[in-house]
Structure 1
Amino acid sequence: MTELWQWLLDHWVLMGTYIYWALDILLRLVSLIVVPRNRRPGSAIAWLLAIMVLPLVGFPLYLMLGKSQLPRRRREKQRIVNRLMRVRAQDIPDSELDDDVPSWLRSAVSLNRELGAFPLTGNNSADLEIDYDTSIASMADDVRTAQSTVHVLFYIMGLDDRTEDFFAALCERADAGVTVRVLYDHWGALSHGTQYRAMRRRLDAHGIEHFPMNPIQPIRDGAFQRPDLRNHRKMVIVDGEIGWMGSQNLIAAHYNKRANIRRGLHWQETMARFRGPIVSELNLLFATDWFYESEQMLPVETVVRPSPDTSGSYECQLVPSGPGFVTENNLALFNQLFYSARERIVAVSPYFVPDESMLAALVTAARRGVEVELFVSEIGDQFLVFHAQRSYYSVLLEAGVKIWLYRAPTILHAKHLTIDDSVTVLGSSNMDIRSFLLQMECSLMVGGTDFMEKIREVEETYRSRSRQLDLDEWRQRPFRMQVIDNLCRLASAVV
């Protein structure tokens, strides 16, 4: 034994080399079997390329980030909720659509019900708000009217000078005996440390129950869990009667980042305020997230109640999505609508990194004569996503898609989609691979002529603040930028 040990010490360089190459070859072979399993071809190729270039780095990264799967206990809860939602849906008929709606809209309603088990509700009313500070002030005003419950859920929440009044309203109602429940994404809020800590102290001081969603605990259930699965929803529900949802986070418009303030960056959002039966559906979605994080199952009768306001004329249907849904609900809905469009598609998305199916749907729509417009930001706040997004502009422009660049220094963070003059989809979901696979999102499909007029006014406002990208201009961009865009596109597929 002593001789063997001495021999190993004398030949450690040679043995290390043999072990390195053996492990290198083994990881390459194993990756060819493991990586492509139940994975999109583009994502599989990107992961395989990363592993083949640097196996000892790429393969461990794949083990950490290669599976868009929730922790085991969370998956068990998801199965419970999905089963309960489908049982509930069996007894709730969809609201009647008008006789003149296109047949494809009826198909979209059926698809959404199959995907998320939420029914189509009628007699809703809604208003839109695109001014950042006004929406926060309006939500605070609604909170102050609460008599029984206030439910708040945001990807990013923080206490600063712009959100101070909203948190003051929460605390006032909590002190008055109203039940206030707050959820925020762990990483989304934690990444704004000063504001995050101030928020937690304020909520704790007034006895408000709050939980971080998807807490970053890499080792859960006895196994490593992917740390970048996030809850990206944004909702405020007051007494189950008033509901806010959309794209905006609850933090100052510059996100309190020194780099943003130095560059003059600020965010442009679209939020919607709803009344009517759809608010109970939003409340039910909040209750599912509350169950995941708190272990408390809120009684359905306290969450879903008959709406006292049924004077509206809009049909609304909620579409939840995320890693708990294997069907990629938001992507399925977007693609169905793109292929159904006959006259016009307007898509507003801050991060546009489509998968192959969505890109094909948009390009096909443009080539068959549908007017397609895409609103994105002229500048970006995330280097990788911004440049990956730009890599798609050439094929879109060549197909006839109009690309509008929202002028700097504003980041267009709003997210909505309109199809013909028939339907609007708005909410928290970007049109990128992260929103399709890794983030819990909330989208709302809205039908109604009056609402379409409101959203068209928003689109016209955004158009007036944007410039149209010309194909000749785009083709003349520096070669180095083309290289960066394409490399970032490749990296974005590693999900």
Structure 2
Amino acid sequence: MNFIQDNIWWFILVFYYLIVFITAGYEIMHNREPVKTISLLFALVVLPVVGLIIYYFFAQEYRKDKIFNRKKVYDHKMIKRWEDLLILQDRDLQHLEKFFVDDKIKLVRLLQNNQTKPFTFGNKVDILVNGEKKFETLFADLKRARKHIHLEYYIFKSDRIGTRLIDILCDKAEEGVEIRISYDYVGSSISSKALKRMNSCGIEIFPFMPVWFPNLTRKLNYRDHRKIVIIDGKIGFIGGVNISDEYVNYKEQELTKMYWRDMHLRIEGHGVKSIQAQFLLNFNFITSKEIEIKDDFFPVIEPAGKSAIQIAASGPDTDWQNIMEAIFTAINTAAEYVYITTPYFIPNNEILTALCTASRIGIEIKIIIPEIGDSVVARHATNSYIEKLLESGVQVFHYVKGMVHAKTMVIDGVVSTIGTCNLDNRSFDINFEINAFVYDKYIAREMLDIFNNDLLECEELNLEDWRNRHYSEKIKEALSRLWAPLL
């Protein structure tokens, strides 16, 4: 007994590394991405106890293997009927090729083959710059709703803007409009009073995958990062703007609050049906009950505009990294330019290589990222990639006016994408994300004008100056990059 007491810490250490050895073996045998596996093994070995906590809270994929596999089986049965009506056959895609420049048809084929996502025509698309424009437009449309309203948000707060939204929703519920809300349990902050009020109005509102101590687990795996609204199955909203005062640039807060630059889309047309399907799939999943699919959810729609749209959704329940692969394909098939705006740039090797290679063969690549951002570790991790980009001729710009939160791309004046997906591993592989890919030269022209206007609030980074930044910054970047696959 004395021997054990005298050597208790040695026994604990041996026991700990026995657990580490078993855990490492489990991780290696699952053949996950090598960079991520190495980062996890590094954490397990050099950070006693903390490493295991990181692993079990942030890196485990047991829910993906079990829960989301069940969800995937259900998904296909639910949406097959209406997708079969919209999906293009090979002969239709061949006919479509003459409308596309260069290899853009490859992007259409990829999304259709990856996810059976219809290429829809006759859509009307409105670009909504910043939260104030998004909420002004959204509130007006909500007040005109007649049958149903569906909302799915990563951040839903019962603050000033959130209360205005809740007021409208309760009014519509009392008029007999069916309202369903899905909110992420970790990202959102809805008061019990607000929840009680919505429930009393007959609004169906459910959290996405509740967890213990959400304030201590802001990055807990498998969060619903989407921001979508569907009204009567005819109008859809998709983009980066959450329901929070943080996303609205109130004039009276100009001196006290960081300026927030964001982007959202309003869509009318068949593209809304894809957004509707994704909402219903997730809502059924979190409520553990099957919603009766009504014709009102997928109504007959007359052409509303001239834009073609594909909606790409990705997450732990999809077979492929749909949005990442679409972005990868868009970069690789670019003929002239790729302009990107993203708040978090922590790319995987595929996207980084695609950008650097495209730049070196003469494609103009411009990337806008925030100078400061809202995450210190993410900012330093992002900075660790900048030197390689600059060396390859990629133009990188720091947005200095405030926080740029828009997640957009415009390619060759033909294709644009706006949605919730950041250029990082968390968006590519862990969170539930959704993007609209818009094939319309007029929308691309408007997106280009917005991008160029944002450049006026940016400072371009210079390779020589960047190399000469303080060595302490380089150390922070190197350490932060070790965690890049987990951020």
TM-score by length of 1: 0.89
Which region of structure 1 is more displaced relative to structure 2, 226-235 or 373-382? 226-235
Distance 1:21 1:487 in 2: 25
Q: Show the counterpart of 1:207.
A: 202
Distance 1:151 1:188 in 2: 18
What's the offset of the Cα at 1:202?
3.4
2:72 corresponds, among 72, 78, 87, to 78
What's the offset of the Cα at 1:58?
1.9
Q: Is the 8 A contact 2:390 2:463 kept in 1?
A: yes
Q: Show the counterpart of 1:439.
A: 431
What's the offset of the Cα at 1:63?
3.2
Which region of structure 1 is more displaced relative to structure 2, 385-394 or 34-43? 34-43
Change (3 A) 1:68 1:331: farther
Superposition map of 1:190-201 within 5 A: 190=189, 195-201=190-196
Distance 2:409 2:61 in 1: 26
Q: Show the counterpart of 1:242.
A: 235
Q: Show the counterpart of 1:33.
A: 25
Distance 1:11 1:348 in 2: 62
Q: Is the 8 A contact 2:130 2:248 kept in 1?
A: no
Read off the aligned partner of 1:298 and give its amino acid letter: E
1:301 corresponds, among 295, 298, 301, to 295
Q: Is the 8 A contact 1:384 1:492 kept in 2?
A: no
Q: Show the counterpart of 1:148.
A: 147
**2:99 partner SS:** coil
Q: Show the counterpart of 1:131.
A: 130
Which region of structure 1 is more displaced relative to structure 2, 24-33 or 346-355? 24-33
Q: Is the 8 A contact 2:268 2:304 kept in 1?
A: no
Distance 1:397 1:237 in 2: 41
Change (3 A) 1:91 1:156: same
Q: Show the counterpart of 2:106.
A: 107
1:371 corresponds, among 347, 364, 367, to 364
1:13 maps to 2:5: yes
Q: Show the counterpart of 1:222.
A: none
Cα deviation digits, residues 7-29 of structure 1 (max 9, x gap): x1x22234424523432442453
Change (3 A) 1:24 1:285: closer
TM-score by length of 2: 0.90
Q: Is the 8 A contact 2:127 2:263 kept in 1?
A: yes
**2:161 partner SS:** coil
Q: Show the counterpart of 2:216.
A: none
1:481 maps to 2:481: no
Change (3 A) 1:16 1:108: same
1:430 maps to 2:444: no
Change (3 A) 1:211 1:31: closer
Q: Is the 8 A contact 2:131 2:247 kept in 1?
A: no
Cα deviation digits, residues 72-110 of structure 1 (max 9, x gap): 344312321135445654453327636131352222112
Which region of structure 1 is more displaced relative to structure 2, 425-434 or 99-108? 99-108
Distance 2:80 2:290 in 1: 20
Change (3 A) 1:175 1:344: same
**1:151 partner SS:** strand
Read off the aligned partner of 1:343 and give its amino acid letter: E
Q: Show the counterpart of 1:398.
A: 391
Distance 1:277 1:362 in 2: 32
1:329 corresponds, among 322, 328, 333, to 322
Unaligned runs of 5+ in 2: 214-218
**1:452 partner SS:** helix
**2:42 partner SS:** helix
Distance 1:11 1:451 in 2: 75
2:282 corresponds, among 266, 289, 313, to 289
Read off the aligned partner of 1:166 and give its amino acid letter: L
Change (3 A) 1:17 1:73: closer
Q: Is the 8 A contact 1:69 1:323 kept in 2?
A: no
Read off the aligned partner of 1:82 and give its amino acid letter: H
Distance 1:204 1:178 in 2: 14
Q: Show the counterpart of 1:223.
A: none
Distance 1:279 1:29 in 2: 49
Distance 1:396 1:137 in 2: 38
Q: Show the counterpart of 2:37.
A: 44
Which region of structure 1 is more displaced relative to structure 2, 227-236 or 72-81? 72-81
Change (3 A) 1:124 1:334: same
Counting matched residue pairs gives 471
